[in-house]
Structure 1
Amino acid sequence: MSALPYHPPEQSGQHDELASVVPMAGSTGREAAARLLGEQLRQWREERRLTQADLAHVIRASVSKISRLERGESPAKARDVFDLARFMRLSAKETRLIERLLEQAQDCEWYQNFSDVTPSYLKRLISLEGSAVEIAAYEHQVIPGLLQTTDYARALVRTVKPWADEAEIDRIVALRCRRQLILDHPIPRVTVMLDEGVLMRPRGGPEVMRQQLRHLLEAADTKRVNIRIVEFDQGASVSPPYAITHLTFGEGGPSDLVYVEHINGADYVTHQKALYDYKHALDQLRFVAADRVRSKELICEAIERYS
């Protein structure tokens, strides 16, 4: 594998193509995006030989509302649009186009379109990830969200939200994949210390895990993503029983912070003494973690076990 620019799973090669059809920002840009979004929805509906009444039923609306939406005259609600996308079985590429047009039509940051499936404690982290110059993380249970494949992410969502319907699961998975687009840019640099036990947990089954681990190898072969495995015998005395994410920002940006997630919430640590303690924990993990070559060997060994 060559050190090519990293692309999230199932998104390679699409970013520039989508950007070329998105209008400029501003009120005129918002109106143009709303019209483009409406035209795309109408085109996809007609290709599938569906009526406006068919779509109205999906989002419990009137036919006139669908008509206004297709003309770009009615404000588009993200949940309605994604419900229509699911009903029409749009492809991943078509769904990403919707996301970009919604951002422009609503003049909002991309993650605001996922507010219905984003816990309030996670919104701040997502808003800051794209402006960080470096992200250092330790994970002891799962592959970090920035490096998850679609199937692996779906298996995790089903584990933690067994009551969720397929529409909600699709939205959460789409959010995780959309976050990964920050890895298409020169920054941030990402270093992940991954507990060896994560490789042993076949989330989603052996085939899903094989795909996920192969994806890790691809990411590890790039210059900006550094994956280090913390082996059991080396990390026993220094590995904390919780995940840690440390964000560092450039000159003029926010002060660095640590994000520590719990089962129903998260802490954002900025106090200098506590910040030092978490950074020290990450430094210890870096010191005992296997180097890049050994880490890739451990991942390959895990792939073989799942074969």
Structure 2
Amino acid sequence: MAEYREPNIRARQLGDRLLQRMAEKGWGVREMSRRLEMSAQWVSAVTRGRARPDPVNLARLLTVLGVRGAEYHELMALGDEMRKPGLLERSENIGTLIGLEEHADAIAVFQANVVPGLLQTGDYARNLAIEMGNQPDPDKLDEHIFARLSRQAILARPHVRFRFFLHEFVLLLPVGSAEVMTGQLRQVLRVSAQQNTTIRIVPARLGGHAASAGHFQMMESGSYQPVVCIESEMTSLYLEEPQEIKAYRNVLRGLEARALDEANSRQLIADLIGGADAR
């Protein structure tokens, strides 16, 4: 009937989609169980990503929920792929990233060249998208920026711990006008004052460092295994195998050892703001 396991990304995606469909009908686990004539334990395990349903029972579940057409085939394929760890998808589909962030208890980010999306101002995000040649259509650009910036709501959650490691180049690489950059630096400085957030700078004078291979974001939760996200221009790669997570934990330990402490990092940012104001 079902293969029980620790939930991976695909299992969570399927579970979330099923819960959405159940919510639309006003059904809870018990009602779904009654209609399927399956145990509530089984329904709960599938919707929490902890069980891989066999194709026959997944088809029954989707049929009872009224799922048809392309969505039916999409979710059946997702159920078939649930054994596969990790995920590669188009960067424009940020639903996976948002879902992982929503469930996270701790988020660690390294960026080498640009301000992380969770810290960006609207002006910075807009200029960055234009300078990178992304989303030339004004309407799509607005949608892109709104979707990206809406993620920042999680910064207000006091129970989530945030760690940002920014290479010094992030602060020095001009994006947009001088006013846009100054506004962005002020935003970074403001967020660094939050009790649940640490922002540390990796100084350029140190040369190579543990994260020289590039940017990444690790999300950890008490409910799920950790996931690392690596975004590029066209795709987002999600890693969750134990050896992959171990490698990025080692990178984070290396950054902890090399980066400036919080106080010196804030001072460096403040000095850059002061220098910009003096010009």
Question: What is the deviation of 1:144?
Answer: 0.8
Partners of 2:104 and 2:198 in 1: how far apart?
16
CA contact (8 A) 1:234 1:289 kept: no
Identity %: 31
**Among candidates 230, 252, 257, match of residue 227 of structure 2:** 257
Partners of 2:231 and 2:253 in 1: how far apart?
19
Report the equivalent of 1:140. Answer: 112
Q: Secondary structure at the match of 1:283?
A: helix
Q: Which runs of 5+ in 1 are unaligned?
A: 1-24, 29-116
Question: Is 2:276 the partner of 1:276?
Answer: no
Partners of 2:198 and 2:209 in 1: how far apart?
23
Question: Is 2:161 the partner of 1:189?
Answer: yes
CA contact (8 A) 2:209 2:254 kept: no
Give the alignment of 1:123-138 within 5 angstroms: 123-138=95-110
TM-score by length of 2: 0.64
Partners of 1:176 and 1:161 in 2: how far apart?
17
CA contact (8 A) 2:201 2:265 kept: yes
Relative to 1, partners in 2 of residues 1:156 and 1:187: Cα closer, same or farther, differing over 3 Å? Answer: farther
Question: Is 2:275 the partner of 1:305?
Answer: yes
Question: What is the deviation of 1:27?
Answer: 6.8
AA matched with 1:119: E
The aligned length equals: 192
Relative to 1, partners in 2 of residues 1:235 and 1:257: Cα closer, same or farther, differing over 3 Å? Answer: farther
Relative to 1, partners in 2 of residues 1:235 and 1:245: Cα closer, same or farther, differing over 3 Å? Answer: farther
CA contact (8 A) 2:135 2:141 kept: no
> What whole-Å deviation, never above 9, does each CA across 1:195-253 have from its counterpart, x for those lacking one?
00011112112100101111111110110111000011235243323101111101xx1
Question: What is the deviation of 1:183?
Answer: 1.5
Q: Secondary structure at the match of 1:174?
A: helix
Give the alignment of 1:53-64 within 5 angstroms: none
Relative to 1, partners in 2 of residues 1:227 and 1:291: Cα closer, same or farther, differing over 3 Å? Answer: same
> What whole-Å deviation, never above 9, does each CA across 1:60-115 have from its counterpart, x for those lacking one?
xxxxxxxxxxxxxxxxxxxxxxxxxxxxxxxxxxxxxxxxxxxxxxxxxxxxxxxx
Relative to 1, partners in 2 of residues 1:303 and 1:241: Cα closer, same or farther, differing over 3 Å? Answer: farther
CA contact (8 A) 1:131 1:188 kept: no
CA contact (8 A) 2:165 2:255 kept: yes
Question: Is 2:185 the partner of 1:213?
Answer: yes
Q: Secondary structure at the match of 2:224?
A: coil
AA matched with 2:215: A
Relative to 1, partners in 2 of residues 1:256 and 1:239: Cα closer, same or farther, differing over 3 Å? Answer: closer
Report the equivalent of 1:106. Answer: none
AA matched with 2:147: L
Partners of 1:174 and 1:276 in 2: how far apart?
33
Hey, which bits of structure 1, 4+ residues long, moved more than 6 A? 25-28
Relative to 1, partners in 2 of residues 1:187 and 1:160: Cα closer, same or farther, differing over 3 Å? Answer: farther
Question: Is 2:152 the partner of 1:174?
Answer: no
Question: What is the deviation of 1:304?
Answer: 2.6
Question: Is 2:204 the partner of 1:227?
Answer: no
CA contact (8 A) 1:239 1:285 kept: yes
Choose 122-131 or 221-230, whichever is displaced more. 122-131
Q: Secondary structure at the match of 2:105?
A: strand
AA matched with 1:292: E
TM-score by length of 1: 0.59
Give the alignment of 1:1-307 within 5 angstroms: 119-120=92-93, 122-162=94-134, 164-234=136-206, 236-250=208-222, 253-307=223-277
Relative to 1, partners in 2 of residues 1:27 and 1:238: Cα closer, same or farther, differing over 3 Å? Answer: closer
Report the equivalent of 1:52. Answer: none
Question: What is the deviation of 1:263?
Answer: 2.7
Partners of 1:124 and 1:235 in 2: how far apart?
34
Partners of 1:127 and 1:237 in 2: how far apart?
30
AA matched with 2:229: Y
Question: What is the deviation of 1:118?
Answer: 6.3
Partners of 2:200 and 2:146 in 1: how far apart?
26
